[in-house]
Amino acid sequence: MHRCAILIFLFMLTSVFGAEPVTGKEHGLTSAAVPVFQIFGLTISNSMIITWIVTLLIILFVRMATRGMGLVPGKLQNFLEMIVEGLYEFFKGILGERVVRPTFWFFSAIFLFILSTNWFSLLPGVGSMGWGHTTESGHFMVDIPWLRGGNADLNMTCAMAMLFFLFWTIWAFKFNGAKGVAKELFGVKSDGITGPLLAFLAVIFFLVGFLEIISICFRPISLMFRLYGNIYAGEVMMETMMEMGPITGILASLPVYFLETLVGFVQAMVFALLTAVFTATMCSTEESEGTAH
């Protein structure tokens, strides 16, 4: 769990240095996070604030659940162990025992962080409290919300996708070695073939290997835009419906609210599942499974 906390901190750190929030004056949910204040020249956006809050809550929960652990677990310890055991068995079925042991900390952390951020972003007050002005009709209009869904910020999803690509590269060479990676990408996937046909297939698989490299490079882009697009679209729908009026808006947004609760879980699972599958296709080969470490 300490590795999980470090990983979540890396998500936050990467999103800070990559953040380029806009200062647009338009109302409604902007496509990029907006700055709320500055600390020592560092711009703090509303999406960064919510990721910090979620991170602190996760760390606090883990610390409380693991404090004074015993053979007879308490309620918090039992709940945490149930989550960890369930996730471990799930990713073990995808990655295998040998690969899941040194990588489980990443996949469990990324799932719990995305899920917690998605659900926390649905709490009342997120997007509806902030700096604003009073209109001519006497209503208060929020111009700069203090909080914004963390995964509705492309900087955040980009940070997670880029870190996964970095770790994926490390794991690929760790489990397969340079020779194994080259064989996995360019090697002929046909046994018992010799002669001219083998030479022809070698050329074909060599060219396919370059296409596979291009596909691998585009995986982080696909991951970041899939998560960002789904969460951002949901928040736009919620905000649009709330603008219908205090009563009509609430009634219209209730079905979408419960749908977004399900979407928050599904998107966290999809992101973690895809990263696990991408890792399994490279690291969980028959050769690597049979290699002793």
Quick: pLDDT tens for 18-77.
Answer: 444 444 444 456 777 777 777 887 888 888 888 999 999 999 999 988 887 777 778 888
Q: Alpha carbon 31 to chain centroid distance? A: 18
pLDDT score of 184: 78
Q: From its phi and psi, is residue 177 left (phi > 0), alpha (psi between -120 and 50) or beta?
A: left
At residue 135, does pLDDT exceed 70? Answer: no
pLDDT of residue 8: 54
CA gap 213, 208 in Å, rounded? 9
pLDDT at 155 over 80: yes
pLDDT range class, residue 130, cuts 50, 70, 90? low
Instruction: Report the distance separating Cα 158 and Cα 127, nearest Å.
Output: 22
Q: Which helix (H) or strand (E) holds 34?
A: none
Specify the number of domains making up the chain: 1
What pLDDT is attached to residue 75? Answer: 85
| Contact in structure between 241 and 256 (CB atoms under 8 Å) | yes
- Predicted local confidence at residue 40, as pLDDT: 81
What is the pLDDT at residue 251?
76
Q: Which helix (H) or strand (E) holds 28?
A: none
CA Rg value for the chain: 23
**pLDDT band for position 207 (cuts 50, 70, 90):** confident
Exposure class string for 117-128: b at 16+ Cβ within 10 A, else e: bbebbbeeebbe
Supply the pLDDT for residue 287. 44
Nearest residue to 230 (alpha-carbon basis) of 255, 265, 273 = 265
- For residue 17, what pLDDT is reported? 46
Quote the pLDDT of residue 290.
45
DSSP strands (E only) in the chain: 35-39, 42-45, 130-134, 140-145
Domain residues for the domain of 247 are 2-289
CA distance 28 to 145: 10
Rounded mean pLDDT, 157-186? 88
> How would residue 160 be classed by pLDDT, with cut points 50, 70 and 90?
very high
pLDDT over 80 (residue 186): no
Q: Which two tokens stand for residue 138?
A: 């006497």
- The angle that helices 2-18 and 97-120 make with each other, rounded to 10 degrees, is 60
How many Å apart are CA 145 and CA 27, to the nearest integer?
A: 10
Q: Which of 58, 53, 88 shows the shortest CA–CA distance to 76?
A: 58
- Is it the case that residue 236 has pLDDT exceeding 60? yes
Percentage, residues of the chain above pLDDT 70: 73
206 vs 50 pLDDT, higher one: 50
pTM score of the predicted model: 0.80
pLDDT, position 213: 85
Q: Which residue matches tokens 């979620």? A: 54
pLDDT at 5: 52
